[in-house]
Amino acid sequence: MGAFRILLCWLVIAAHVDPATSGAVRFAGPFALFSFFAVSGYYMTLTLRTTYAVPGGLRAYYFNRALRILPLYVALLVVCAPFAFVNDNPTHAAWTSLKTPSAVIAAIAQIQPIGQE
């Protein structure tokens, strides 16, 4: 199952990287994306119904997901955030054009990923 999900992920990346790719790759991108979501949803449901089907299992599941995802998210945020403040970066121009309340809301939305889906 993992190899299939990796293949689907690479198809999505290939469809995004070069807009001049062949029609087959551009068609495969949306198909791979929906397939990835379907397979991942099935796999997550299976995991929740088997491995974490114990008292306190849902809490353990979310704790394990946070331990797996948040360190990488924070590391990438720390590495990439300074690039947003380089003067010739389009991101810098976009951020500096915001008024203070809008900038604060946008910053919170970038830092806090929970509830954005």
pLDDT, tens only, 9-52: 888 887 777 666 666 666 777 888 888 888 888 888 898 899 88
With a CB cutoff of 8 Å and minimum separation 6, the contacts of 57 are 48, 51
Both tokens of 20, joined, read 């001049």
Comparing 47 with 116, the larger pLDDT belongs to 47
pLDDT, tens only, 55-76: 988 899 989 989 999 999 889 8
Q: What predicted TM-score, i.e. pTM, was given to this entire model?
A: 0.55
d(CA 92, CA 89): 5
Residue type present at position 11: L
